[in-house]
Amino acid sequence: MTMAIDAPRQGFRLSMLIFDTRYRSYTIQAVVLALFVIAIGWLGYNLDQNLSDRGKELSFRFLWQRAGYDIPQTLIPYTNDSVHFRALLVGLTNTLVVAFIGCICATILGVFVGVLRLSNNWLVARLMTVYVEMFRNVPLLLWVLLSYVVLTETMPAPKDFKVTDEMTAAGEAPAASMSFFDTVAVTNRGTNVPAPLLERGLGSIDLGFMSLNLTFLAFVAVIGGSIYANNRIVSDARRRQETTGDRPVTWWKSLLILFGPIAVMLVALGLHWETPVLKGFNFQGGMFIAHAFTALLVALTLYTAAFIAEIVRAGIQAINRGQSEAAFALGLRPGRTMSLVVLPQALRVIIPPLISQFLNLTKNTSLGAVISYSDISGTLGGITRNQTGREIECVFLMMLVYLSISLTISMGMNYYNRSTQLKAR
């Protein structure tokens, strides 16, 4: 009688790394990784040797040297006596501001145009088509230059707002006047708007390389807490609706929680507004918004919105028409059908390419250098690089900054994308 026995297990041999399919993929990956590390090391060694031969070793000590140049628009305290690292932070904040506002405005405009492209009104649909084709087929650089030229060449000079005694006696009006109840002045130099001021600020903490504004942190904490509390209320209302079928009224609670704490804080800190006033040859006081910022924001918004409109149109058309017909059968109007039925389902198609457009808009802010907008490419990659002669270090830091911003946007949008995907039972 014969009995079947298991074949003896063979021990691990080095040849399995090549001939055994269980280990071959790991071997290939290890070899490619090693070659990549060797290539990076070789390039870095050659770069260091070439710079050493020219007497320019890699060093970032220049960041702590005096910058010596002015930046027209700053969101954090800065003078020409500040160091280059401070100028880098100013450029970074300017980049983040125009990118953040541009993403919001481009998304709103893009969704609006994308929906109207599918309108049954022939004229409206064709006008939106003209807008999309016109903006997405012309280079962004040209739109930036055109916006800047329009703002600087068509707006009146500050002297046109001046009222002399002779004009008052003759009953003549100035060539230009301020808008919004004499609080906003748009000139060929920029836009002067009222500036919010606080009588009782919370001060700041000096960290050496930067100062930490406690008032700003308090506002961020209050706004974050309000949003968290509002999300809890909305979640509880949704849970009750799913359980009982009755959704409680929450709009007044949301308004109270979102705006109540911040309003109380503003009153407690003594909020008041400083309006711009014409003194001498220019406006003094208030907040100055350079035309470089406005032109870049307008160009980025209009250009990116054209691509987002196409993404929205494709996402809506990807939803089965039966969804809309079912909503119409239930008595929903077209506007409510689009906002409650079609768009929520289309988000699963819209969001992935929308992430790419947000990344493109953020990186396209570097075009502001051509109109002297002081973003990070204008400060670190422009004046600082020219003054210090540290081209390699400045370019490396710029690449690191843009990579960090892009990865942060990608992670946030990918998280939102996962929350909108269908969940398998």
Residue 12 confidence class, pLDDT cut points 50, 70, 90: low
Retrieve residue 370's tokens.
């051509």
Position 5 scores a pLDDT of: 56
- The one-character DSSP state at 179 is B
Residue 9 confidence class, pLDDT cut points 50, 70, 90: low
Residue 21 confidence class, pLDDT cut points 50, 70, 90: confident
373 or 335, which is more confident = 373
Residue 317 confidence class, pLDDT cut points 50, 70, 90: confident
321 or 397, which is more confident = 397
Residue 282 confidence class, pLDDT cut points 50, 70, 90: confident
Position 103 scores a pLDDT of: 93
21 or 10, which is more confident = 21
Q: Estimate to the nearest angstrom the gap between the alpha carbon of 272 and the chain centroid.
A: 28
**Residue 237: its H or E element:** helix 214-244
Question: Is the pLDDT score of 4 beyond 70?
Answer: no
Question: Is the pLDDT score of 342 beyond 70?
Answer: yes
**Residue 382: its H or E element:** none
Residue 146 confidence class, pLDDT cut points 50, 70, 90: very high
Alpha helices in 330-369 (DSSP H): 334-337, 343-364
Question: Is the pLDDT score of 287 beyond 90?
Answer: no
Position 235 scores a pLDDT of: 87
Retrieve residue 418's tokens.
């996962």
What number is the average pLDDT over the span 57-80? 84
398 or 51, which is more confident = 398
C-beta separation of 318 from 306 below 8 A? no
C-beta separation of 289 from 190 below 8 A? yes
Per-residue model confidence as pLDDT tens digits over 158-191: 888 887 777 777 777 787 888 888 888 888 888 8
**What percent of the chain has pLDDT above 90?**
25
Retrieve residue 355's tokens.
């992430």
Position 25 scores a pLDDT of: 79
HSE-CB of 178 using CA atoms within 13 angstroms = 18
Identity of residue 265: M
**What percent of the chain has pLDDT above 70?**
95
Phi then psi for 191, rounded to 5 degrees?
-115, 125
Retrieve residue 364's tokens.
């396209």
The CA distance from 214 to 194, in Å, is: 23
Q: How many other C-beta atoms can be found within 10 angstroms of the C-beta atom of residue 289?
A: 16
Count H helices, E strands: the chain?
15, 9
Position 210 scores a pLDDT of: 62
Domains (ranges, CATH) in the chain? Answer: 62-194+275-420 (1.10.3720.10), 195-271 (no CATH)
- The one-character DSSP state at 289 is E
Position 79 scores a pLDDT of: 85
pTM tops 0.85: no
Question: Is the pLDDT score of 383 beyond 90?
Answer: no
Please list, in sequence order, all residues whose beta carbon lies within 8 angstroms of the beta carbon of residue 288, skipping any fewer than 6 positions away: 72, 73, 190, 191, 192
Q: Which of 49-53, 94-98, 101-105 has the lowest mean pLDDT?
A: 49-53
**C-alpha pair distances (Å), 323 with each of 118, 220, 246:** 16, 40, 24
As a whole number, the mean pLDDT across the chain is: 85
C-beta separation of 176 from 402 below 8 A? no
Position 311 scores a pLDDT of: 93
What number is the average pLDDT over the span 335-348? 81
Please list, in sequence order, all residues whose beta carbon lies within 8 angstroms of the beta carbon of residue 266, skipping any fewer than 6 positions away: 198
Q: Which of 137-151, 239-253, 393-407 has the lowest mean pLDDT?
A: 239-253
- Largest Cα–Cα separation, the chain: 129
Question: Is the pLDDT score of 7 beyond 70?
Answer: no
Q: Which of 172-186, 203-217, 284-298 has the lowest mean pLDDT?
A: 203-217
Retrieve residue 55's tokens.
């007497």
Residue 341 confidence class, pLDDT cut points 50, 70, 90: confident
- The one-character DSSP state at 174 is P
